[in-house]
Amino acid sequence: MARMKEFDPDEVLDRAVDLFSSRGYHAASMQEVVSALGLSRSSLYDTFTDKQELYQRALERYRQCATRRMVALLDASTDVRATIATLFDQLIAESQPGTQGRGCLMVNSAVELGLQDPAIAELVNRNAREMEDAFCRALERGQASGQIASHQPARSLARHLYNTISGLRVAAKSGTAPDVLRDIVQVAMSVL
């Protein structure tokens, strides 16, 4: 008879998201992974096969939680400009000293592994499309209601916003000061 798992895989994946967000894939040794997850090596391998599968599943978990939360916020928005400004404000707040400098696991993955691992690249690209589509839907509603200028196609603006968020996350991870991030956001918002 198979033994019941004595842990919640989603909780383990949440801890893996935290670890990989702060350390990255290559810098996190297997001993760090085992310690951070609170599992034995045998439990880790029985459940996730290897570090790479754990990383992919953590990235998918991140997408299911963080990305889908942002998509839901954009889809429910009735004040598109204010919602986008709130997303930027949250991003800057997450980059403040004392927030552990985790960064965004999706952006970190694109930078660290995007060209090396086709499966990670596919997850990152699928996430980018999902975010771009959510921005586009919100911007189209904003343009239809007059909240957002119509001088640029919504799709182009959506790509600009997603690229700005990705760039801000990389800049924040490398220690860029919050006032510099706010300057970037101000210019990005002026396009809307």
Residue 44's H or E segment, with its range, is helix 41-48
Rounded Cα distance between 9 and 173, Å, is 28
HSE at residue 76, side-chain half, CA atoms within 13 A, is 6
CB 158 within 8 A of CB 136: yes
Provide the whole-model pTM.
0.87
CB 72 within 8 A of CB 134: no
* Residue at 117: amino acid letter: D
Rounded Cα distance between 142 and 77, Å, is 9
pLDDT tens digit string along 53-71?
Answer: 999 999 999 999 989 999 9
Residue 99: pLDDT band (50, 70, 90) is low
pLDDT of residue 172: 87
What residue has token string 């552990």?
A: 100
CB atoms within 10 A of CB 142: 23
Does residue 121 surpass a pLDDT of 70? yes
CB 27 within 8 A of CB 110: no
Architecture, CATH, for domain 60-190: Orthogonal Bundle (1.10)
Q: Which has the higher per-residue pLDDT, 7 or 16?
A: 16
- Say how far residue 188 (Cα) sits from the centre of its chain: 19
Rounded Cα distance between 67 and 70, Å, is 5
Domain ranges of the chain: 60-190
Query: Average pLDDT over the chain, rounded to whole?
Result: 90
CB atoms within 10 A of CB 81: 16
